[in-house]
Structure 1
Amino acid sequence: MVARIPSLEEKLKGLPTQPGCYLYKDAAGEIIYVGKAINLRNRVRSYFQKSAKHSPKTRKLISRTVDLDYIVVDSELEALILECNLIKEHRPHYNIRLRDDKQYPYLVLTMNEPYPRLLVTRRVKKDGAKYFGPFTNSRAVWDSLRLIYRLFPLVTCRKRWDNSPVQRPCLYHHMGRCPHAPCAGLANSEEYRKMVDDVAMFLDGKQEKLVQQLRAEMEEASEDLQFERAARLRDQIAAVETLIERQKVVSTNAADQDVVAIVNDHGESAVQMFFIRNGKLIGQEHFMLEGLEDEEGVENATGEFLKQYYQDAAYVPTEIILPTHVEETVIIEQWLRQKKGTKVTLTVPERGGKKQLLDMAIGNAKLALEQMRTNTLTEYDRTMGALMELQDALGIDTPLERIEAYDISTIQGSFSVGGMVVFKEGKPAKSEYRRFKIQKPTNTGEPNDFAMMREVLTRRLKEAKSGNPKFSTLPDLMLIDGGKGQLGVAVSVAKELDVELNMIGLAKQFELVYQPGQAQPLALPKNSQALFLLQRIRDEVHRYSVTYHRTLRGKNATLSVLDTIPGIGLTRRRELLKFFGSVERMKNASVDQLAAAPAMNKRLAATIHKMLHGNAA
């Protein structure tokens, strides 16, 4: 007997009164919202009361909800932690969430190694390492990495780390880039660990404290007549002090603070963060939020951002300055205190220096939001705007959602290949790129691009007609790299296979667009976004086919003469080379000696002997 699945109404009646998280699902079973509650029954039922006055967003959510699940926990704090994890995992449509599904980069000190390194990672693990971040700007991460390696020469390679003299020092050691050289047994573990602690102090924003320690070490080294070490410390101090001079003093109480400013305008939201360490502004980052409606306001966005950002943040300051009070202040402070190990305060300033900092962050958030809009408009012009312009110029009725482009790459008919690239909504869809090795090569010295293009297009369209899922979707526009002749080949192939397609050819010399049945080519304006899009697609298919062509040529350059002998496959070739050691020794061997090799026989040995001595028939 099949168990009956409870309806939504039945689940609402059976909700428990304990704290926990609830998950709303749509008709497709997709999780569209995750929430938490101290009392699951009261909270969830409040959504479905007919008398309740909900916001437009909540009404949309309820109209799409056909099922729900819930998870019971022991406390509101556990519910908050679970909610953060569920939102991160499922990214529900109706939750406010950090934009992009990507992981932001972190810097990590691999403290679980005898000689730690500083690396860039996108995943925070509980592995004993020290993490710093997250950063929204990848360039800033790599710039910081290069600066730190210049100031503190940590090891960078993945060789053995037990400080045993297993090899001579490499070039990096002689260049001064890796003076410790643990792979050569030259490292002083205590001195190296001290340098690792200095790096951690630097990344924590405690540069002034670091300078004090480095200056004391420099004086001690000078007194001990260790002048080279003293000079090295002097240079480190100078570099760190230069960095300190660029940092703005914003607080006189040497506090560790994060300033969080959020602006929301017509459903678009930007978050600006200032990072203050020891009273100095050491950096800033901005993030974008999605899923926020106008009526929800900044309060909801602030609470959701705090939970999602500090869930993986490598460092939690003692004070977080906010633009507005959040409903969950007490429980969020409790959660942050659990993460940090000491008290964390959420502050909403009304005047003074903290308010000035907040206003400055709000101004930066507005600029970030405006920049995001500008970038969005620019991207739209490059993609959807260009597609509409192209559709209008070509006189095509249907939208050009999928464009396929084809190109042939060959050198005197050798290693001839065809490339097919796909653009969806004006952007590359690299998972759908395809490549073709020409099965009917042209005569050497007389390459026939038309014949090769015919073969590629015939194979592609036949695969589509046969139902091959890799080729089943036909393009809204087929772009052929070439002029009237190449386009004519494409038209004839489509006609032979009874396939109707929009096709154009793009001639590189004058960037003219050829269309079937049109006597004169179309010349798009030189500043046309449609022309720029066609050029990007043409250049991409050329790059793709040339890359494949080079790969085949490279493989051929490494082929052994054995690969030209019929009957010699990969296994036999490997066994022969293993048995004789080289092709030259095989050439000096008799037929009987060849036949004595593994996986060989007398007939094949005689063939190999003839081929190696140039006596092949």
Structure 2
Amino acid sequence: MARSANSPLSFRPEQGSIPESPGVYRFSDAQGRVIYVGKAKSLRQRLNSYFADFASLHPRTQTMLTTATAVDWTVVGTEVEALQLEYSWIKEFDPRFNVKYRDDKSYPFLAVTMGDAFPRVQVLRGAKRKGTRYFGPYSHAWAIRETVDLLLRVFPVRTCSAGVFKRAGQIGRPCLLGYIDKCSAPCVGKVTEEEHRQLAEDFCDFMAGNTTRFIKRLERAMRDAAGTEEYERAARLRDDIQALQRALEKQAVVLGDSTDCDVVALVEDPLEAAVQVFYVRGGRIRGQRGWVVDKVEESTPGDLVEHFLLQMYGEATPEAVPREVLVPVLPPEAAAVAELLSEQRGARVEVRVPQRGDKKTLMGTVERNAKESLAQHKLRRASDLTTRSRALQEIADALDLDQAPLRIECYDVSHLQGDDVVASMVVFEDGLVRKSEYRRFAIRGTAGQGDVASIYEVIYRRFKRHVEERAASGELDPEPIDPETGKPRRFAYPPNLVVVDGGPAQVAAAQRALDELGVDDVSVSGLAKRLEEVWLPGDDQPVILPRSSEGLYLLQRVRDEAHRFAITYHRSKRAKSVTESVLDDIRGLGSTRKQALLKRFGSVKRLQGATVDEICEVPGIGLSTAEAIVAALKGEAT
């Protein structure tokens, strides 16, 4: 196996030496550390793709190949074996270029330490411990404590620490919970070790979803007590039943009673992805958990789902794997993943995409939670002062700027097949959004000529106004408030950096607009969506920021915000033009009368609800025209 520094061709395997069998491969660096693990149906076809055309590879893949100095592989017999070996190698070597999911926050679990002689119920976070049953995770620890407080009335399992338990046994007196019947007090021998373990097992069964038999058992006991006139015992059993029912009410019913499934939703952008899982047992949502991941390799949604399922269930206990896993898209090797999970569970597991009904609706709810999780993750990351400062400095270093770009303006163009062309301008100052500085443009002179011409027009218009305001004030940096009018100047401050959504052509157009206006103190760059490449004017090659760069993350946020703002404006403008076009077809209704109608009623929708007499009240609208308007709008409404 050949080794060298930085050249992938130097360790390319000999022609014909790679088998065509399915298998798992791994790339290693000069120190022998495994940096990437992958699997393939055909090792030869997959590995040859890395060395065939280096320039066409994704930049992150290029970085992996230039870091690697060796590649080896292991042939396996089936796709399931490939999945198992891939997971084992990823777990063993922790390769830096593989996808790694991490909790988006610390989730608490309800834990029962069944490995102890006297099992204990408690709230736990972090790594799971052997011999302990876990339920959840829950969004808040107080939610667990409320549930436990209700269940201890029926299942009085110990909740005290080892020290308290030992001390109570030494003095022969239980704690307060033992006196109020919320602990069976095994510490002082009120119950035997076997009796206490049975209570713990019943507690676990109830939490696992086997609720009906406990409630029915208590109801029978309550009726028997009432029949023998043991009314105090019957009342206590009634209160126990109500406690169990209140505990169940805290878990929303979403599906049929026999449904056990995990619902997985995925939301991604070019740099990161967020995953949310709802755990449904017995038709009720028993827990929720979220993960985020940096996309350190080029991955499809199906790839991300496959990696996630392997990570989540890789070391799960059989009872933690549900009968059904609902996913947004099927993984590439869906049948193999399902077989692997079935082996893990010891029974058949189905992996599928819900198409309709309650499960499809629940998937939508989980997806909304994933979107919120990704937004909160971005917000936490963006709100950190140190992170923002590092991001701005990384941008300055990468683009060779004289100083950190404290004010960044980003421009994007939106249209539908060349119609209703609009552009947006968003502003970030010190790495934070300044929505009061946002502007939007209706493209006129270059409409229909493409994004490049539109970028030129919007940059020229924006900086032409800035040049004019600077000339009128006689200052290089005029005050943002006009002293004569008392109103804010629209373009008082120039940015340190202009970012356009696009590649070399868009960057060249923006730079040409600035050159024609004589603006030489503003830097220009472009961010291309497909490969997240940063382009500078006149450069033949893009600037590739490291995948972990906070600077790249900030540029992406700026670009995405400009895109969102442009799309919002385009949709509103198009919706208005579509509704107003209905009036254009009415004979005898010119632009003046149309404007008078819209001024009077406010919108076409309100005009649709108007009567002929109300329309006739508008100056210039006669009876025949009013009747024509009503007829046209009624037809449009139907």
Q: TM-score of the superposition, structure 2-length normalised?
A: 0.52
After superposition, residues 341-352 of structure 1 pair within 5 angstroms as: 341-352=346-357
Alignment root-mean-square deviation, CA:
4.1
Deviates more, 1:368-377 or 1:41-50: 41-50
Tell me by how many angstroms 1:231 deviates: 5.0
- Distance in 2, Cα, partners of 1:172 & 1:254: 39
- 2:11 aligned partner, one-letter code: L
Tell me whether 1:176 sits opposite 2:180 in the alignment.
yes
Structure 1 residue 331: deviation in Å?
0.9
Q: Is the counterpart of residue 297 in structure 1 residue 336 in structure 2?
A: no
Which amino acid is 2:301 matched to? V
Q: Distance in 1 between matches of 2:107 and 2:263?
A: 19
Match of 1:528 in 2: none
| Identical positions, percent | 34
Contact conserved, 2:104 with 2:377, CA < 8 A, in 1?
no
SS of corresponding position for 1:80: helix
Q: 1:341-398 CA distances to partner (integer Å, 9 max, x unpaired)? A: 11111111233222222122212211211121112222x2366549999xxxxxxx99
Check whether the contact 2:264–2:275 (CA below 8 A) recurs between aligned residues.
yes
Q: Distance in 2 between matches of 1:240 and 1:158?
A: 27
Paired position in structure 1 for 2:323: 318
Gaps of at least 5 residues in structure 1 are 390-396, 400-617
Seen in structure 2, the aligned counterparts of structure 1 residues 224 and 159 have a Cα distance that, compared at 3 Å, is farther
Determine if contact 1:260/1:320 at 8 Å carries over to the other structure: yes
* Distance 1:231-1:341 versus aligned 2 partners, 3 A rule: farther
How far 1:9 moved relative to its partner? 3.6
Of 228, 241, 244 in structure 2, the residue corresponding to residue 240 of structure 1 is 244
Task: Please give the alpha-carbon distance, in whole angstroms, between the structure 2 residues aligned to 1:347 and 1:59.
Answer: 34
The residue aligned with 1:359 is 364
- Shift of residue 332, structure 1, vs aligned partner: 0.8
Q: Distance in 1 between matches of 2:71 and 2:108?
A: 34
Distance 1:81 1:287 in 2: 22
SS class of match (2:47) = helix
Counterpart position of 1:36: 39
Residue of structure 1 in register with 2:115 after alignment? 112
**How many angstroms does 1:229 deviate by?**
6.1
* Cα distance change of structure 1 residues 216 and 54 upon mapping to structure 2, 3 Å threshold: farther
Could you tell me how far 1:271 is from its partner in structure 2? 1.1
Partner residue, 2:28:
25
Match of 1:374 in 2: 379
| Letter paired with 1:323 | P
- Residue 214 to residue 305, structure 1, CA distance change in 2 (3 Å): farther
Q: Which residue of 2 aligns with 1:204?
A: 208
2:414 maps to what in 1? none
Cα 1:218–1:191 shift into 2, 3 Å: farther
- Name the structure 2 match of 1:213: 217
Q: For the residues of structure 1 that align with 2:78 and 2:106, how far apart are their CA atoms?
A: 29
SS of the residue 1:281 aligns to: strand
Cα drift, residue 338 of structure 1: 1.0
Distance in 2, matches of 1:144 and 1:326, equals 36
Q: Which residue of 1 aligns with 2:459?
A: none
Pairing of 1:132-143 with structure 2 (within 5 A):
132-133=135-136
Shift of 1:330: 0.7
Relative CO higher for 1 or 2, CA cutoff 8 Å, sep ≥ 6?
2
Q: Deviations over 1:86-109 (max 9, x none)?
A: 323443232222126999665443
- After TM superposition, give the deviation of residue 70 of structure 1 in Å: 4.0
Deviation at residue 264 of structure 1 after TM alignment: 0.4
Q: Any conservation in 2 of the 1:247–1:282 contact (CA below 8 Å)?
A: yes
Structure 1 residue 263, shift from structure 2 partner:
0.6
Counterpart amino acid of residue 284 in structure 2 = K
Q: 1:223 to 1:292 in 2, by over 3 A?
A: farther
- Displacement of 1:336 in angstroms is 0.9
- Contact kept, 8 Å, 1:276 with 1:282, in 2: the verdict is yes
Query: Quick one: distance in 2 between partners of 1:285 and 1:332?
Result: 21
- The answer on whether the counterparts of 1:159 and 1:183 sit within 8 Å (CA) in structure 2 is no
Match of 2:85 among 82, 85, 100: 82
Counterpart position of 1:574: none
The CA distance in 2 between the partners of 1:191 and 1:220, in whole Å, is: 23
Where do 1:88-103 residues align within 5 Å? 88-99=91-102
> 1:194 and 1:226 mapped to 2: Cα distance?
26
CA change 1:341–1:188 in 2 (3 A) is same
The worse-fitting range, judged by mean Cα deviation, of 186-195 and 305-314 is 186-195
Deviations 1:258-291 (A, max 9, x none): 1111010232211122222222233322221222
Distance 2:248 2:224 in 1: 23
The aligned counterpart of 2:420 is none
Q: Is the 8 A contact 2:22 2:77 kept in 1?
A: yes
TM-score by length of 1: 0.53
Q: Matched residues in 1 for 2:375 and 2:296: separation?
A: 17
Residues 103 and 123 in structure 1, CA contact (< 8 A), matched pair in contact too: no
Q: Tell me, yes or no, if structure 1 residue 288 matches structure 2 residue 292.
A: yes
Change in CA separation of 1:153 and 1:49 when aligned onto 2, cut-off 3 Å:
same
d(CA) in 2 for partners of 1:327 and 1:159? Answer: 51
8 Å contact kept, 1:107–1:133: yes
Please tell me the residue identity of whatever aligns with 2:323. Answer: T
| Residue 67 (structure 1) aligned with residue 70 (structure 2) | yes
5+ residue gaps, structure 2:
5-9, 394-401, 405-638
- After superposing the two structures, state which structure 1 stretch, 102-111 or 354-363, moved more: 102-111
